[in-house]
Chain A
Amino acid sequence: MPTSSVESTQRPAAHLEVRDFTAGYGRIPIVSSINLDVGEGEVVAIVGPNGAGKSTLLKAIVGVIPSLGGSIRLRGDIVTNLSTDDLVRRGIGYVPQSHDVFDTLTVEENMRIGGYLLAKPEAEARMARILDTFPTLRPLIRRIAHKLSGGERKLVAIARVMMLQPSLYVLDEPTSNLSVELAHKLLTDYVRRIASTGAAVLLVEQKAKAALEVSNWAYLMVAGAISMSSPAAMLLADESIAHRFLGKVTAGSSSAPPGGTGPDSTLPEAPAV
């Protein structure tokens, strides 16, 4: 498969550099020879067909599964094979695809644990600020997380990660359990809002079109390897690629239920910032 790279666009200085990276379960590599950058303040999407290894790559980057080769640098420091808790201390905020909240604890406790590394007054201040940003979380604050809807859960997961104000958000299919309309809102509104704070975002998405629309840069992943690296807009415009690898690019928006009120329609209205 030809690897076409478009390097004409200027990218910001690299925040995360993944070089010749290989990872998998046990000794069997699922993804190999990955080269990937996330620039300062950039939103970067990894798109590709099901089973391409996108989530595996993210898990290896954030230290959930061990890497089998290659290197990762964060702001120039080598962080290859550091454990998740070390990476979190260095400014990575990871939202897994599922099991993304502490099910047995309340929303408030979830957020407090998110601020585990902070001094208490600082944690309180940040929690207040996040609740101002997402006022719909306020009435849910005492609810057990396991009783939340899909949209509310994802919001709690993001709010929990925001507590540490990471410099890089790593989001694994944040919209996978949401209706199309909610997914769109999450990507266009929340992800943009995170980016506007100056943090970088690396996200993996099935709903490729929506993801590409909010991203600056995109990687196309096929069969465990990066097969294309280009500005997101360019990938979005390329009909043939969309057709070959991203079957869902156009299907995504057309499969929206009329009115878009799925079971997860409780994702809160985004307030004006």
Chain B
Amino acid sequence: MPYLLGPSIGFGLVTASILALAAVGFTMQFGVTNILNLAYGEVMATSGFVALIVNRAGLSIWFGMAAAAVFGAALSYLLNRVIFIPFARRGTKLFGMVIVTIAVGLILENSILAITGPNFFSYIVPQESTYSVGFLILTTSQIVLMGLATLAMIAVHSLLRLTRLGMAMRATASDASLARGCGIRTERIVDAGWLISGAMCGIAGVALFINTTSFTSATANSFLVVIVAAAILGGVGQPYGAMLGALVIGLTSEIAAAFLNPAYKNVVAFVILVVVLLLRPQGILAQIAVQREIAR
């Protein structure tokens, strides 16, 4: 048994790391702006393909990841400014906004498909060495991804707990109108939220593509539901909840893949989600269910 459990925990931790990067970004975006952005997977994908271009130009994939972070931040910021905020001003509610984000996602994903065709792509990743850490056996890039996710989580924690911006973000996430009543310029905080979460989205896209080794224009979108599941599991808009959700889903899905049927990898995670929704609709960590309007 340990010979199966060890690797699956290793895979689980790597998946959880990627998931944490993506889900924390997703949930921060949602928490601050109150827009459930179902185009998030496609922003991951576009950023991942930007990294591919950088990578193909002969630079290391880690440079590509930096480029993807910048691109993801810029694209998210622009999507909000050019599309989401105008729609919100025009009176589109939570409801309609989900459909707006789906439409944006369809356009993004299929634009990539139109350019790349239904082909598989891979990054050029330097020769991998393997290391055994206890009962885990991990490759270089897996270790880097896990370290990166850990760093990102520490950074998010410090941002939210220790900085003024973080305080303003939490206030805006809690009640944007009241935050304005404390002198917080919420529109700037919302911009910051899109930029930060967009950067995490870009990094997560590249991390996902490194880990899946070969990818298409649709790879990230099929991962989106897992991301959203992790975010909801912990309580949407709760960064710590998303970390916990990522860990739970990452580990269970890989262990399920090893012991049950690899095809049910995600189904097990989803079943956990459904059970949580039944017992605790607001998510594991959320104190109360959020009920707010779109922040701008």
Contacts and interface: CB of A to CB of B under 8 A. Distances in A.
| A–B direct contact (CB < 8 Å) | yes
Interface bracket on B: 20 to 34
A164 interface: yes
B287 A85 contact: no
Interface in B174-189: 174-175, 177-186
Most chain A CB atoms below 10 A, which of B178, B181, B182, B288: B181
A88 B171 contact: no
Contacts of A114: 182
Contact of A85 (B164, B186, B288, B290): B186
Contact of A116 (B164, B173, B175, B286): B164
Contacts of B164: 116
Nearest to B91: A26
A83 B182 contact: no
Interface of A: 62, 64, 83-85, 88-89, 94, 96, 99-105, 109, 112-114, 116-117, 144, 146, 160-161, 164
Closest 8 CB pairs of A and B: A88-B183, A102-B174, A84-B180, A117-B183, A113-B171, A85-B180, A104-B174, A116-B182
B288 A146 contact: yes
B167 interface: yes
Nearest to B174: A102
Given A105-B170, A116-B167, A146-B287, A85 B183 contact: yes
A88 to B, nearest CB: 4
A62 B290 CA distance: 25
A181 B183 CA distance: 33
Interface of B: 164, 167-168, 170-171, 173-175, 177-186, 286-288, 290
A85 B189 CA distance: 12
B280 to A, nearest CB: 16
Given A85-B184, A96-B178, A113-B171, 15 more contacts: A84-B177, A84-B180, A84-B181, A85-B183, A85-B185, A88-B180, A89-B183, A96-B177, A103-B288, A104-B288, A113-B170, A113-B179, A146-B288, A161-B181, A164-B183
Contacts of B185: 85
B178 A99 contact: yes
B199 to A, nearest CB: 24
Nearest to A160: B182
Nearest to B164: A116
A118 B141 CA distance: 44
A88 B174 CA distance: 19
Contacts of B173: 104
Interface majority SS on B: helix, strand, loop or mixed?
Answer: helix
A113 B167 contact: yes
Contacts of A84: 177, 180-181
Contacts of B287: 104, 144, 146
Q: Which of B177, B180, B184 has the most CB of A within 10 A?
A: B180
Contacts of A146: 287-288
B171 A102 contact: yes
B127 to A, nearest CB: 48
A100 B286 CA distance: 20
B218 to A, nearest CB: 36
A116 B171 contact: yes
A114 B171 CA distance: 10
Give the one of B183, B185, B286 with max A CB within 10 A.
Answer: B183
B268 to A, nearest CB: 30
B184 A116 contact: yes
B132 to A, nearest CB: 43
Contacts of A83: 180
Contacts of A102: 171, 174-175, 178-179
A105 B171 contact: yes
Nearest to A147: B287
A103 B174 contact: yes
A99 B182 CA distance: 13
Contacts of A88: 180-183
A113 to B, nearest CB: 4
Given A85-B185, A104-B288, A116-B184, A109 B178 contact: no
18 contacts: A85-B180, A85-B182, A88-B181, A89-B183, A99-B175, A100-B178, A102-B171, A102-B175, A103-B174, A103-B175, A104-B174, A104-B287, A105-B170, A113-B179, A114-B182, A116-B167, A117-B182, A117-B183
Contacts of A104: 173-174, 286-288, 290
B161 to A, nearest CB: 10
B170 A109 contact: yes
Nearest to B168: A116
Contact of B174 (A64, A94, A105): A105
B181 A116 contact: no
A115 B287 CA distance: 24
B290 to A, nearest CB: 8
A84 to B, nearest CB: 4
A116 B183 contact: yes
A112 B175 contact: no
Contacts of B290: 104
Nearest to A163: B182
A104 B170 CA distance: 9
